[in-house]
Structure 1
Amino acid sequence: MIKKSLAVFTVAAAFFAQAQDVSTLRNTVDVYSNSSLGSSAKWNAMAGSAGALGGDATSLLNNPAGLGVAISSNIGGTLGLSNYKNVSSSGNQSTSFSNTMADLTNANGVASFQLLTETPWKFVNLGVNISSRNLDSYVETPGNANIIIPKDLEDSMGTPLAGNLSFLGHGYDRTGLQTKMSVGIGANYNNSLFLGAGLNFHSSNLEQFDTARFGLDLDNSVAQYDKQYTPFSELGSGFSASVGIIGKLNNQFRVGAALETPTWWQVERVYTDYFTDADGYISYETLAEDRTFTSPLKATLSAAFVPNKNFSLNVDYGIGLTKPKYKVQGPAETELNDFFDDHSTSGSEIKVGAEYRIKALRLRGGFAHASNPFDAVTLSAYNNSGAISNQTFDNLILGSRNTVGLGAGYDFKSFYIDLAYQNMNSEYSNPFLFGSVVNGSPRYATGYHSGNFDVSEEVSAVSSVKNSQNNLFLTLGWKF
């Protein structure tokens, strides 16, 4: 029997008892530490590689000094059509899910001011860039009849019964939207040195579910279970700043460098807490808390080869200089910080992009590789036969990501149109089911809860997930 208790108030973060909520770990890196959201069709076709080229307000995503390269004012808007597919495999079975979404993914503009003076300063430009990203992601894992979890129960007369729960499937489901708005200023010194600075305003709104299905052999019933502290919703706002420089070594070679401060996030979180009360009933209450999070400090180094007006090639290398960190308000934040200190990497990414012009036609392409954000992690996990052993995973929760971009554009002098196709692929090991029990008063567990009882075993099930995304972008712009 379940008893419901509603109590929405601010509390310290719930104690994880060494049962990290995988969704929180994933969102910390994939949402709150991810400040590059994609942009215009040109930017996406070149896989985001433009750090030493610049020329429009999308420069605010990697090097604000690129604003100073612009010699005319322009505005542009981008529509995006995105399809993702997640295939989760466990044993000899797999389950796939795909979804297609259409959004206004980018809007940007530059106001260019030519300085008609005798000083070496040629232009001062102001820019605004707004990029958004749909956070929708659903990963469903098929069941495994070999994973059996024993459960001590009682009948209506209080007689002890020994039951067995068989694992029938699991799902992570996230929906939401992330937005980054940047405003900045760039300056052109003697057409050879470009300086820039920007302010970035981040926002996010997401809802997260973590559910599993089990079958009970005593009555052949099937029930859905929710992970402790889920479902939860988060509303976040953050701020960061960036500075950059681009210099021409000669007429053909340019180099650039940029630094983006950590993003200081304030996150309002509402989550569900399940527990067994003093009367032996499973109860739950809805709790709220505020969290403060600091993402890594990031640096980007760039180099570009521009032999003539018809061809340009750019290489960017970005790296995180610090690690994700939560302000400690209780044991949960301490445990999260310990996990990131022990297992998170520097989070580097290399991007290569090129553009070739044939009169008014532009042809573009790019490639990017983002490294695995976590080191190898060893877990106690089920294998395909249901046996338990210590296993090491070098791509746990999130893996490395490869991006390929292709695109074309046409310049009508005052107006321009750009098209881009982008393919993104990643593979990772997907852990779930882990939970533990805290025998206190009241007793509670960090595993999975149904309306009648909990399933809490300090063992993970791990599937292999292949994520692929195919994106189309259309940009319309006006130069003046």
Structure 2
Amino acid sequence: MSISAAFFAQAQDVSVIRNTIDVYSNAPNVGSAKFNAMGGSNGALGGDANSLLTNPAGLGVAISGEISGTLSVTNNKNTSSYAGSSYGYSINKGDLGNLGAVMTFQLMTESAWKFINIGVNYSNQSVENYIETPGNNNLVYDFPDGGSSSFGRHAYDRYGYLSKTSFGVGANYNNSFYLGAGLNFLNTSIDQSDTAIFNSLADGSSEYFSKQNTPFTEKANGFSASLGVIGKLSPNFRVGASLETPTFWDIDRGYNYYNDPISGDDFGTENRKLTTPMKATVSAAFIASKSFALNVDYTLGLTRPKYKVYGDAETELNDFFKDHYKNLSELKIGAEYRIKQFRLRGGYSYASSPIDALTVKGRYNNDGSITENQSYSNLILNDRNALSFGLGYDFRSFYIDASYQNISSKYSNPFLYGEVNNNYEAGYYSPNRLISSDASAVSDVKNIRNNFFLTFGWKF
């Protein structure tokens, strides 16, 4: 399949597509150190507030009250390789990653309903991401004023946060069947830029260019709801299922734009409505004894991202997702082994690529020539692997847990495409100069995220 010209004609193309999938369609999944150590897999185990991240029925499994707080230290490193050179850049962040609490209410009746429990969970994660790509002296652009420059560097720069606050209730029926429901409130703030640097062949001076409609900012809030069930097949086996509705986002945008090289920059605002995919999760757990437990979750996206149409931009984005978006598919496996008060945990998760194979109509080669109709199986984003492990110690009423998580992904990163017609459209610009490019440069990006979590908790 190929990307239509309309896709790359959008000034906000790659940034908006990446953010739609990577931020808005990917709710924060940061839980306690235990949850993260087990790969985020607890859909059939439940028992604490992090159940609201996978299956709210897990709230009904709890038999005592609990409150916990988790500190997170994250490292996000992108290495972008192009034309025989590489740039690596790391972002380190420390923050409050998770807060969770469960209140249990034992029903002192002869009814088969044993507990009605209430839970709240707050997850927060940084969405900062910086991809800087080295230049190529063989890529030479001729400017409208007659000057020529070679490509110096390019950068996508995004910073901000994504948070999710969930409230839920879970019920325990005869210690064998559990029901749950949750309401989720999401917030995000994004600042995004798309910048290229070109070096004059005449005097070697450098000039910075921002793409049309960038930099831009977005502040948004979203809402979703979830339902779940867990059933005991035997004392050792449990199965679970949950459904989360689409997330309905209300996005306020502000962006820089230009009309022509004489009038210079201006600033515009707009509002967008986005619906991100509905998700279903099925789970299974094996509890060999009080010493060992294993859980497997499989999540499938049932719909695709869709913007409410106000104009051509939303129509083109929807057309892209209709033609090229693949439904989410994610597998998570987690295990815990207990040795008296000690806890040993490990996990693995895999998320499939969210985008089909794509073909760009023109790609710059290292020598500056152009190859037409170049196909990529991993353009913009790709599949993701995560490994994790952790330790914990239970002081009876109090506990402390720690975990480490490594997430890796490799993908092809397109940039520089932007056609300029009648002195505006989607190219790169400075106050008095415009760049029009009918081909893309494509770098290879390796993303590695190393995350550390420390949880302090109290059971009552």
The TM tier, using the shorter chain, reads over 0.9
Distance 2:356 2:65 in 1: 45
For 1:450, give the aligned amino acid.
Answer: S
C-alpha contact (below 8 Å) 2:77/2:448 kept by paired residues: yes
> Could you tell me which amino acid in structure 2 is paired with residue 396 of structure 1?
L
Cα deviation per residue 1:411-464 (whole Å; 9 max; x = unaligned)? Answer: 11110110001111111111110101233xxx4130111122111212111100
CA-CA distance at 1:384 after TM superposition? 1.7
Q: Work out whether residues 262 and 296 of structure 1, in 8 Å CA contact, stay in contact via their aligned partners in 2.
A: yes
Mapped partners of 2:7, 2:91: distance in 1:
35
The Cα shift of 1:386 comes to 1.5
For the 8 Å contact 1:20–1:336, the answer to whether it is kept is no
- Aligned-residue offset at 1:135: 1.2
User: What residue is the counterpart of 1:166 in the other structure?
Assistant: 150
Amino acid at match of 2:197: R
Letter aligned with residue 173 of structure 1:
D
Tell me which of 48, 58, 64 is aligned to 1:66: 58
Instruction: Give the C-alpha shift of residue 37 in structure 1.
Output: 2.6
**Counterpart residue type for residue 238 of structure 2:** R
Equivalent residue for 1:194? 178
Report the CA distance between 1:16 and its aligned residue.
Answer: 7.4
- 1:281 CA drift (Å): 1.0
In 2, Cα distance between equivalents of 1:397 and 1:215 = 26
Task: Tell whether the 8 Å contact from 2:157 to 2:192 is kept in structure 1 after alignment.
Answer: yes
The 8 Å contact of residues 17 and 438 in structure 1, kept in 2 or not, is answered as no
Corresponding letter in the other structure for 2:90: S
The residue identity in structure 2 corresponding to 1:117 is: T
Deviating more after overlay: 333-342 vs 219-228: 219-228
Confirm or deny: 8 A CA contact 2:384 2:408 kept in the other structure: yes
Q: Secondary structure at the match of 2:234?
A: coil
Q: Distance in 2 between matches of 1:407 and 1:176?
A: 28
Counterpart in the other structure of 2:79: 87
Task: Give the alignment of 1:272-311 within 5 angstroms.
Answer: 272-276=256-260, 281-311=262-292
Residue ranges of structure 2 left out of the alignment (5+ in a row): 1-5
Partner of 1:254: 238
Matches within 5 A, 1:15-414: 17=9, 21-153=13-145, 161=146, 163-276=147-260, 281-379=262-360, 380-389=362-371, 390-414=373-397
Q: Which runs of 5+ in 1 are unaligned?
A: 1-13, 154-160
* Conservation of the 8 A alpha-carbon contact between 1:282 and 1:453: no
Q: CA deviation at 1:136?
A: 1.2
Secondary structure at the counterpart of residue 152 of structure 1: coil
Q: Distance in 2 between matches of 1:325 and 1:152?
A: 38
Shift of 1:319: 1.1
* Structure 1 residue 404: Cα displacement: 0.5
User: Residue 440 of structure 2 corresponds to which residue in structure 1?
Assistant: 460
CA displacement, residues 318-342 of structure 1 (integer Å, 9 cap, x when unaligned): 0110000000000000000000111
Preserved contact between residue 182 and residue 226 of structure 2 (Cα < 8 Å): yes
- Counterpart code for 1:94: S
Amino acid at match of 1:254: R
CA distance in 1 between counterparts of 2:56 and 2:157 reads 35
Contact 2:7 2:320 in 1 (8 A): no
How far did residue 18 of structure 1 move?
Answer: 5.0
Q: In the aligned structure 2, how far is the partner of 1:310 from the partner of 1:371?
A: 32
Between the aligned partners of 2:10 and 2:124, the Cα distance in structure 1 is 34
TM-score with structure 1 setting the length? 0.92
CA distance in 1, matches of 2:11, 2:424: 13
Query: Aligned-pair distance for 1:15?
Result: 11
Q: Tell me the amino acid that sits aligned with residue 285 of structure 1.
A: D
Offset of 1:139 from its aligned partner? 0.9
| Offset, 1:36 | 3.6
1:58 aligns to what SS in structure 2?
helix
Does the residue aligned with 2:259 lie in a helix, a strand or coil? strand
**In structure 1, C-alpha distance between the alignment counterparts of 2:186 and 2:90, rounded to whole Å:** 27
Normalising by structure 2, what TM-score? 0.96
Contact 2:51 2:58 in 1 (8 A): yes
Q: Distance in 2 between matches of 1:21 and 1:228?
A: 10
Q: Deviations over 1:210-238 (max 9, x none)?
A: 10100122343210100111100000000
Equivalent residue for 1:7?
none
CA RMSD of aligned residues (A): 1.4
1:421 alignment partner, SS class: strand
**Superimposed CA distance per residue, residues 82-115 of structure 1 (whole angstroms, 9 cap, x where no aligned partner):** 1111100002100001121100000000000011
1:247-286 per-residue CA deviation (whole Å, 9 max, x = no partner) reads 111111111100000000000000011121xxx6152210
Is 1:435 aligned with 2:418?
yes
1:106 alignment partner AA:
N
Deviations 1:301-325 (A, max 9, x none): 1011112111100110001100000
What is the letter of the counterpart of residue 412 of structure 1?
A: F
Q: Which moved more, 1:28-37 or 1:325-334?
A: 28-37
Separation in structure 1 between the aligned mates of residue 134 and residue 10 of structure 2, nearest angstrom: 26
Report the alpha carbon displacement of residue 122 of structure 1 after superposing the two structures with TM.
0.6
Asked whether the equivalents of residues 280 and 301 of structure 2 are also in contact (C-alpha less than 8 Å), the reply is yes
Q: Which amino acid aligns with 2:243?
A: L
**Distance across 2 between alignment mates of 1:284 and 1:36:** 35
- Identity rate of aligned residues, in percent? 57
CA offset digits 1:30-55 (Å, max 9, x no partner):
11001143111000000101110000
Question: Which residue of structure 2 lines up, in the alignment, with residue 472 of structure 1?
Answer: 452
Cα distance in structure 2, aligned partners of 1:124 and 1:351: 28
Tell me the alpha carbon deviations over residues 126-155 of structure 1, each in whole angstroms, 9 at most, x when there is no partner. Answer: 0000000011111110001111222231xx
> C-alpha distance in 2, partners of 1:335/1:462?
22
C-alpha displacement of 1:164:
2.2
Match of 2:431 in 1: 451
CA shift for structure 1 position 383: 1.6
